Copies of this chain bind each other. A is one copy, B any other.
Amino acid sequence: MKLKLTKVGEPFLFEFSNSNGNSLKIDAASVIGGGGNEFRPMELLAGSLASCMAIDVLHILRKQRISPKQFAVDIQASRTEGVPSPFDSIVLTIQVSSEIDKSQLERNIRLSLEKYCSVAASLSKDIQIETNIQHIS
């Protein structure tokens, strides 16, 4: 995996790109002088976990020949106080259309976080990952 991060603006504005030519802006929090208007590093970290889990879950459902009409993940994360300030808790609320069985989905989520998801396996074991399921119409 080859990626590039390039400073494109003062004082902390970056462009991040992958080998497919995708790019996105990353900035620091305004409290340390960043613009505060772009994605921040810790947001990308939380998004990487949620998307890894979501892809796994949809992949397992697909093998079970199930395709939810709607699927979204609401992500709430909290950080420890002090410096550094890693995540101590990430709560992933899976919002899925009501035709999907909750207990089957729950099993798939657990399979992802415990067996398949490489982002989860790259994170500190001190981070508590909690999941919920919400049926949406």
**Residues of A in contact with B (beta carbons under 8 Å apart):** 1-7, 10-12, 14, 16, 18, 20, 22, 24-26, 28, 32-34, 36-52, 54-55, 58-59, 62, 67-68, 70-79, 83-87, 115-125, 127
Partner of A1, one of B26, B38, B78, B122: B78
Question: Bound state CA distance, A3 and B75, in angstroms?
Answer: 5
Query: In the assembled complex, which residues on chain B have CB atoms less than 8 Å from the CB atom of A25?
Result: 22
Query: In the assembled complex, which residues on chain B have CB atoms less than 8 Å from the CB atom of A55?
Result: 12, 14, 28, 32, 34, 41
Does more than half of chain A's interface fall in helix, strand or loop, or is it mixed?
mixed
Query: In the assembled complex, which residues on chain B have CB atoms less than 8 Å from the CB atom of A20?
Result: 36-38
Please give me the residue from chain B that is nearest to A37 by CB atom. Answer: B20
Contact A79 B4 (CB under 8 A): no
25 contacting pairs across A/B (C-beta < 8 A): A3-B43, A3-B46, A3-B74, A5-B51, A5-B73, A7-B72, A10-B67, A11-B59, A14-B55, A16-B50, A18-B39, A18-B43, A41-B51, A41-B52, A41-B119, A42-B122, A44-B48, A44-B51, A45-B49, A48-B48, A83-B115, A84-B115, A84-B116, A84-B118, A121-B124
